[in-house]
Every structure is written in C-alpha cells, then in structure tokens.
Amino acid sequence: MTDSTLAEVFPVALRNQIRRGFTIAQQYLACAVYFDARRLPHLAAQCYRRHDRHRDNALRGVRHLLDRAIEVRIGGVDEPRSDLRSPRAAVEILLAAEQVFTDTAIALVDTARSQGDHLGEQFASWFLEEQQENVAALTTLLAVFDREEGTLFDIEEFVGRDMPGPGKSGPSGPEIAGAGKGI
C-alpha cells in the first residue's frame, strides 16, 4: 500500500488525533492556570509539564506526516473546559479527557493496522504507552484526593514528592516537528 492510498484513511485519523492532542494540551494549560491562581504550585507545575508533553506529542504526529510527505493541516482546537469548581473537579476533567484521548489512540492504531500501514501503526502504538502513563498518574492523583479528603497541603506534598513529570522514565518518543535537525 502506498502513502497516496493511505492519504485517505490513516493520515486523516492522525490529523484528528493531532487536533485532539493540541486540545488536551490546552485543557492542561487551563487547569495549570487554575491551580496557579489558587497557589497550588505542584499541581500547577504538573499540569504545565503535561501541557508541554501533549503539545510535543501533537508535534510528533506532525513530524510523522512530514517525514512521509503526507499533507499536514493544522486546524483549531476545541474549547477547554473552564468550569473548574474545585481542584478535585479539575483532575476529574483531565482524567476524563485522557481516557477519551486513549480511546482515540487505540482507534488510531486499529486504523493503521486495518490499512496495513506498518509505519503508522508503529508510530501510533507509541502513544498507547504514553496514555497508559497519563491515565495511571491521574487515577492515582484522584485516589489521593479521595484519601486525603481534600487536604490540599497533603495533596501538594504528594504531587511534589511522588509524581514525576510526564515521560521522565520512558522513552523520549519520536522526533518533534520544529525540533530542528542540526540547523
């Protein structure tokens, strides 16, 4: 199967995933600002880092399309939710967004596989490891919120002490568009 044939299926799905990646990055940014405004520096820092990571991952998708000489289109993003009633509610919103993003990443792998696009499948499979880490981290954080019964000081201590930044332990992933190739 040639890339021109694939232009009708996998790249469309990947472009949609790129848009979702930029959208979830914006959601993390909205939550980071929410936490920052409430003087919760560890929660804010965690969200700022995850914003950067999702943005970088979207740019990895851009790089994948560029490297395969497939058209890249960058469109708008969905509006991030700003109805953050509490720090716990903000984490719930992020977890729900990560779960949806994981489902679409699985569908992206399935699309590549069904099209016999081995390069696309390899690339999209990388996202699944990232998503497993993201969902696990937020699930743990939500459990800590419940266990600490909303004691923000203890939650901040936990985040600062026990939550590494995203992607710190795993592979760095595919190259990011705009990272420069020795220019």
pLDDT digits (tens, 9 = 90+) for 133-183: 999 999 999 999 998 676 899 899 999 998 876 554 444 677 777 766 544
E strand or H helix that includes residue 71: none
Domain positions in the chain: 3-162
pLDDT, tens digit, 9 for 90 and up, residues 92-146 = 999 999 999 999 999 999 999 999 999 999 999 988 888 999 999 999 999 999 9
Give the chain's end-to-end CA distance (angstroms, integer): 33
Contacts of 27 (CB under 8 A, 6+ apart): 80, 81, 93, 94, 97
Kindly list the distances between the CA atom of residue 19 and the CA atoms of 14, 79, 96, 147, in Å, as whole numbers in the listed order: 9, 12, 17, 35
Tell me which architecture the domain covering 3-162 has in CATH.
Answer: Up-down Bundle (1.20)
Contact 106, 55 (CB under 8 A): no
Lowest-confidence region among 10-19, 51-60, 71-80, 174-183: 174-183
